[in-house]
Chains A and B, each alone.
Chain A
Amino acid sequence: MTTILCIEDEPELREDIAEELASAGYDVKQARDGHEGLQMIINYKPSLVLCDITMPRKNGYQLLKEIRENYSIFAEMPFIFVSALADRERILAGLSDGADAYLTKPIDYELLLATVKASLRQIDRIKDNQKQQYVLDD
């Protein structure tokens, strides 16, 4: 089963996102902030991360930076921001910092599920290409 990590400090929203993803057939792990999120990424190696930005201890930007700079093994793991910081500048900044997608709150769950699916599909394609490359190289 595909594992998705949801990092969100608002318990009500975190539970709802987890419930929505679980209903769609994903295995969902939950973290309360970026600090806890990093530990869970290391422990569970999720296929995809959904992450809030404004959080105590370690915010979303800090977590993404740490992942992209210090953990090359997670280079292919899609990282999606889900934030109430909804102005254009923030969205552009989040994407240029290395996020694969940026969703705003209130969350449109259909859009969230479609974005998750698209991101996972893209990773599958990359992996398939890599496999074919290995076969051709052999």
Chain B
Amino acid sequence: MAARDITSRKKAEKELIRHRDHLQELVDAATADLNFKARELKRALEKEQELNELQRRFVAMASHELRTPLAIIDSSAQRLKRRLDNNELTAENVDKRVGKIRGAVQRMIRLIESTMSVARMDEGKLEVNFGPCNVAEVLKAACSSQQEISENHIISCELLDLPETIPADRRALEQVLANLLSNAVKYAAHAPVIDVTAFSAVSDVIISVQDYGIGIDADDLNRIGERFFRAKTSAGIEGTGIGLNLVKTLVEMHDGTLKVESERDKGSKFIIRIPITRQLRQEPTEKGQARLF
């Protein structure tokens, strides 16, 4: 009987098994990695599709929102012409039409400015330039400007113990208040009273804009201020979902906060807090640049 030395064969087999196992490990790792990447890709795709859908809806809503004030302007022009042709034009008619046209133009400007600001926000170019800002003056002007174009509403403005100035970007503050006030009017079409109050509390100025309109459901409250988000109660009311997102961003760029208290059919109260003093150095924020001068 002849004996063969199979040590080298066994060794080769063992080596082969080791290689095979190693290869299997590599394949498993690569598969896991691929699966992970596929899931990531799927998530990114879904997010992209969701964003595209939101943007598509925004464009549709913005176009609809621009058409309505355009329709008001065009309607006024046609009515003016008709009255002129019929020799029925009076100074009162002209005055009424001018008011309507100016109100519609304000609506369009507001939408365009909000859209531009959101675009700047996305590019990280939204800026707030701090300077001494007379908050009482800005508030009075904002209320009066909204009152001028909302003749069916009564906007009361109560200002208590406000500092002469606060460090803030006047333009940004005007934008914040214009958005809050136009929302109050829009979402309280059948409730004419809008209450605006402002006062100082320790280190902040607190401004609140309260309406008694349709309100917001409790489960929507924590999403207020999200880009493109619109509360369930706003169904059928024009809007793009960018206004409050801009308000929140601008307030936060002032190191302030935006809070909402609301109940369906009872109305909403938007409360903003803005610090009365600022530190000397400002770090750029996530969504834009804050500058002191």
A residues neighboring B (CB under 8 Å): 9-13, 16-17, 19-20, 23, 32-33, 54-59, 84-86, 105-109
**What residue in chain B is nearest A16 (Cβ atoms)?**
B75
By secondary structure, the B interface counts as: helix
Which of B65-73, B200-208, B222-230 faces chain A? B65-73
Are B68 and A20 in touch, CB under 8 angstroms? no
Known contacts A32-B189, A54-B238: A10-B64 contact under CB 8 Å: no
Are A13 and B190 in touch, CB under 8 angstroms? no
Complex contacts, B145 vs chain A, CB 8 Å: none
Complex contacts, B236 vs chain A, CB 8 Å: 9, 33, 54-59
B79 at the interface (CB under 8 A from A): yes
Are A12 and B64 in touch, CB under 8 angstroms? no
Are B238 and A106 in touch, CB under 8 angstroms? no
Complex contacts, B103 vs chain A, CB 8 Å: 12
* A123 smallest CB distance to B (angstroms): 26
Are A16 and B76 in touch, CB under 8 angstroms? yes
Known contacts A32-B190, A33-B236, A54-B236: A12-B67 contact under CB 8 Å: no
Known contacts A12-B104, A32-B190: A106-B75 contact under CB 8 Å: yes
* A55 smallest CB distance to B (angstroms): 5
The interface bits of chain B over 233-266 (1 if a CB of A lies within 8 angstroms of the residue's CB, else 0) are 0011110000000000000000000000000000
B82 at the interface (CB under 8 A from A): yes
Task: For chain B, give the interface size range.
Answer: 20 to 34
Are B78 and A105 in touch, CB under 8 angstroms? no
B152 at the interface (CB under 8 A from A): yes
A53 to B152, CA, bound (A): 22
Complex contacts, A55 vs chain B, CB 8 Å: 236
B48 at the interface (CB under 8 A from A): no
B273 at the interface (CB under 8 A from A): no
B74 at the interface (CB under 8 A from A): yes
Complex contacts, B67 vs chain A, CB 8 Å: 84, 86, 105-106
**What residue in chain B is nearest A104 (Cβ atoms)?**
B67
Are A9 and B189 in touch, CB under 8 angstroms? yes
Are B82 and A20 in touch, CB under 8 angstroms? yes
Complex contacts, B72 vs chain A, CB 8 Å: 10, 12-13, 16
Complex contacts, A84 vs chain B, CB 8 Å: 64, 67-68, 71
A56 to B70, CA, bound (A): 20
A85 to B72, CA, bound (A): 15
A82 to B100, CA, bound (A): 20
What would be 10 A-B contacts, judged by CB atoms less than 8 Å apart?
Answer: A9-B236, A9-B237, A12-B75, A19-B79, A23-B82, A54-B64, A54-B237, A57-B236, A85-B64, A106-B70
**What residue in chain B is nearest A60 (Cβ atoms)?**
B236
B180 at the interface (CB under 8 A from A): no
A8 to B235, CA, bound (A): 15
Are A56 and B64 in touch, CB under 8 angstroms? no
A17 to B72, CA, bound (A): 10
Contact among A20, A56, A105 for B237, CB-based, below 8 A: A56
Taking CB atoms and an 8 Å cut-off, the chain B residues in 96-114 that contact chain A are 100, 103-104
A32 to B188, CA, bound (A): 13
A117 to B190, CA, bound (A): 33
A55 to B214, CA, bound (A): 13
